[in-house]
Amino acid sequence: MLFSLDPTDRLKKFFEKIRHKYFSEDPLSLAQVMYCFWEGDKFAPDGSPVMGSARAFPALIRDLFDCDFLISIDHEYWKDASTTDKKRLAIHELRHCSVIAERSKEGWTAKEDKEGRIRITLRPHDVNLNLFKKEVEHCGLMAGEEDVAEKLLVMHHESKMVTPGKKKKKKKKKQ
């Protein structure tokens, strides 16, 4: 797999526009993010194709390049993707990037490590469809995901799905 920066800066401009619009009130606004493309195929452990990836840089890279995260995108996918799909991917990858911070009246203040760098982490998916709630909120579901979402909703309404910490209600029998 070969990685490269976008010489036109269009990838960075697109992501930063999304970041400004959807993450301006998020601690992520305190971090520096680098964007790049990769050439070649990349697959998840389940065999599904990967279109984007987010990484937290180690301390050495953060110190040398003043950057906290790297978001890399499949160049072939990006060239053919619709604006909505690009937006979905941008929101998805940016949601992985997390700054550990406290909120005050003045805004966010990042917690720092012992060397004074902001503390960062990568956020795992919060929905088992490899999606984030905000991603679905802003972009809707992709083709094929509607069926899964509908099945989850049916399961929930049939009380087969129990929220952790809550007991399943027993149905009263009709007499």
Taking only the tens place, the pLDDT of each residue in 43-87 is: 888 788 899 999 999 999 999 999 999 999 999 999 999 999 999
pLDDT of residue 48: 82
130 and 114 both lie in a single domain:
no
- Containing structural domain, residue 137: 125-162
Q: What is the mean pLDDT of residues 133-152?
A: 74
pLDDT of residue 146: 74
- Between CA 162 and CA 88 the distance in angstroms is 29
pLDDT of residue 79: 95
119 and 146 both lie in a single domain:
no
Q: Which amino acid type is present at position 130?
A: N
34 or 130, which is more confident? 34
pLDDT of residue 57: 97
- 87-96, 99-108, 129-138, 164-173: which has the minimum mean pLDDT? 164-173
pLDDT of residue 145: 72
pLDDT of residue 154: 75
- The answer on pLDDT for 166 being more than 70 is no
Tell me how crowded residue 37 is: count the other CB atoms within 10 A of its CB: 18
Vertex 28, ends 58 and 31: CA angle to 5°?
Answer: 45
Check if the beta carbon of residue 55 is closer than 8 Å to that of residue 69. yes
150 and 104 both lie in a single domain:
no
Whole-angstrom CA distances from 171 to 121, 159, 174 are 43, 10, 9
Asked if residue 10 is part of any domain, the answer here is yes
Counting the structural domains of the chain, the total is: 2
pLDDT of residue 19: 95
**What is the rounded average pLDDT for all residues in the chain?**
85
Tokens of 64: 């040398």
Q: What are residue 109's phi and psi, to 5 degrees?
A: -125, 120
Give the CATH number, domain containing residue 60: 3.30.2010
Asked if residue 97 is part of any domain, the answer here is yes
pLDDT of residue 144: 67
114 and 143 both lie in a single domain:
no
Asked if residue 57 is part of any domain, the answer here is yes
Percentage, residues of the chain above pLDDT 70:
82
